[in-house]
Chains A and B, each alone.
Chain A
Amino acid sequence: MKIHQLSLFLENEPGQVLGVCRTLRDAGIDIRALTVADAQEFGILRLIVSDWQAAAKILTDAGNIVNTTEVVAVEVPNRPGGLTDLLELLEGSGINIEYIYTHTFGQGDRAVLICRFDDADRAIERLQSSSINVLAPVEIYAGGG
């Protein structure tokens, strides 16, 4: 149930994200979700794309450093307290969320969050046992909406 996220190293300069987007556009690869984590001197671009293997290859060929990380796409109700409910399920489990960001496409009254857990397998197990919908890779890569 884990999905593959690509991370790229960016310098803190104009045009860095644009370069990556052009490379993906030219290869016909769709970006399903993205976030940029910015530090003082650099940034890390995290991407969920329609074809992560092809994207990793062409981005590497284009001179980028591409890191592949397994993350989890979790569905939460799009209402006040939706995320709180999810986090409460994890409370006391010792599972840590390294980072979290939202997916680009909506699912009606549901929101989809991309989570990087320190222990993805345990997180998935715990969430699924509480009837939380963990999205399958194909749902994310193929897109919806």
Chain B
Amino acid sequence: MTSLLEDLAQNYNPISAPDFVPACHTQELQFTRLKSIVRRAYDHGDLFRARMQERDLTPEDIRSLDDVSLLPFTVKADLRDTYPFGLLTSPMSEVVRLHVSSGTTGKPIVVAYTKEDVNVWTNVMARSFAACGLNHGDIIQNAYGYGLFTGGLGAHYGAEELGATVIPISGGHTDRQIMIMCDFHVTAICCTPSYFIHLIDHARGMGIDMHDLPIRVGIFGAEPWTDSMRKRIEQDAGIQAFDIYGLSEITGPGVAIECPYHNGLHIFEDHFYPEIVDPDTGETLPDGAEGELVLTTLSKKAMPMIRYRTRDITTLIGGRCPCGRTLRRMRRVGRRSDDMFIIRGINVFPSQVETALLAVEGTLPHYQIILTRAGGLDEMEVKVEVTPEVFSDRVGSMENLAKKLDHELERTIGLRAAVRLVRPNTLERSEGKAKRVDDRRNLDE
């Protein structure tokens, strides 16, 4: 690594200025913004106000940044329960964008943005790209899905704000991805890490070695991946791989990003206030302690999230990073405090699988979800024990059952899963409780 000053001199982008201000300035800004967001949520958010009143709290009780720990949590179920617009604190006439993501029981959750919210998101995404060493002149292939998923449009706006050239290719069409990567002299790509591994392998099959292409940066997120996977990607493609973190409830991608030192992800603290809490007691833990990441949106107008429980387990790292950024970092997320898993960028809860099985069979059969990774692509198999109620001596009926289960799962989750019928009592049960998810994706391979 070059020295900090050399680094800054070469790579500094004015858009990243807030990343480098002294921590005390950031904290002042956070406190000012916290007070105003609590006021906004209290005045315009029925659920938040009711919870504050239950605790005998008013916005005036927030007298320091530490008082954030007095505030009630928000959880994913709140978004589902108030579907679609119950948490909006802006009139629809000020909302310019709606995104939708998967919920816990098959019901989606909706997130809303005012023009200002989109601008904040665009800003943090542009700062994310800048932290990865990208600038105007770079050609970014954006292979995140465009549409209801926040990944595509979030990265798109940020890349344009940076002044880079963005190719809005979206996901899929692997042959075309490779062709464009070659022909357009792409220098950076955004997608899920598993899809990029698929791209590397596919390119090889076409006789293309990514080492020979101008691509030098990959920004990967929307699913868990490890440092070993990073090593493999970097070796096999000759690029530098960056982890990006985000969630729709907070804004989408761009909540936190790695810098070239790859020692945790810098959280854009001026807009997203992070805390670590004990996932069981909800008690706030100090920097350095492992626990559940809780985020408060400090600037969000349309749908503020106060102390949102992300369910992601991590640690906050304080102090200045060798890159010069003063923004606190979070360790890469390796696990979650609930049983949700992420496959191909889609959040899946076992309860969604249960909803689908129930819809077809009427009663809930024993089942197990098996996640595997083959050739860089994640696959999901659902083993379902056959019950006397659904068993028939006719092959056609059984094949129909499997087909219906396939269809219902795809409808509920938005992802094709292979359903396999198995004999009763063959799935593993521990202490009477079935082990619902068997994640065999070796994230270290």
Contacts and interface: CB of A to CB of B under 8 A. Distances in A.
A67 B421 contact: no
Contacts of B425: 63
A42 B426 CA distance: 14
B393 A67 contact: yes
Contact of A46 (B391, B393, B402, B424): B393
Contact of B423 (A39, A40, A64): A64
B392 to A, nearest CB: 7
Main DSSP-derived SS at the B contact region: loop
Contact of A65 (B388, B394, B395, B402): B388
Contacts of B399: 39-40
Given A5-B393, A7-B393, A65-B391, A44 B423 contact: no
Interface string A35-60: 00111111010100000000000000
B387 A42 contact: no
Main DSSP-derived SS at the A contact region: strand
Interface string B185-196: 000000000000
A11 interface: yes
A37 B395 contact: yes
Contact of B391 (A40, A63, A67, A116): A67
Contacts of A40: 399
B377 to A, nearest CB: 21
A65 B366 CA distance: 14
Interface string B370-404: 00000000000000001110011111001100100
A63 B424 contact: yes
B202 interface: no
Contacts of B387: 65
Given A65-B387, A65-B388, A67-B388, A42 B421 contact: yes
A74 interface: no
A54 B369 CA distance: 36
Contacts of B393: 5, 7, 44, 46, 67, 69, 116
A108 B35 CA distance: 96
Contacts, number: 52
A141 interface: no
B420 interface: yes
B226 to A, nearest CB: 32
Contact of B386 (A65, A69, A98): A65
A117 interface: no
A9 B395 contact: no
Contacts of A3: none
A39 B395 contact: yes
Given A41-B421, A63-B424, A9 B402 contact: no
A38 B423 CA distance: 15
Nearest to B389: A65
B96 interface: no
B392 A41 contact: no
B21 interface: no
A9 B423 contact: yes
Given A44-B398, A63-B425, A9 B391 contact: yes
B395 A41 contact: no
A10 interface: yes
A43 B384 CA distance: 15
Interface string A5-29: 1010111000010000000000000
B61 to A, nearest CB: 60
Contact of A98 (B391, B394, B398, B422): B394
Contacts of B394: 44, 98-99
A49 to B, nearest CB: 14
Contacts of A66: 388
A90 B62 CA distance: 85
Contacts of A11: 421-423, 426
Interface string B421-436: 1111110000000000
A44 B322 CA distance: 64
Given A65-B386, A65-B387, A65-B388, A10 B395 contact: no
Interface of B: 386-388, 391-395, 398-399, 402, 420-426
Interface of A: 5, 7, 9-11, 16, 37-42, 44, 46, 63-67, 69, 98-99, 116
22 contacts: A5-B393, A7-B391, A7-B393, A9-B386, A9-B391, A9-B398, A11-B423, A37-B395, A38-B395, A40-B399, A41-B402, A42-B398, A42-B421, A44-B393, A44-B398, A46-B393, A63-B423, A63-B425, A64-B424, A65-B387, A65-B423, A67-B392
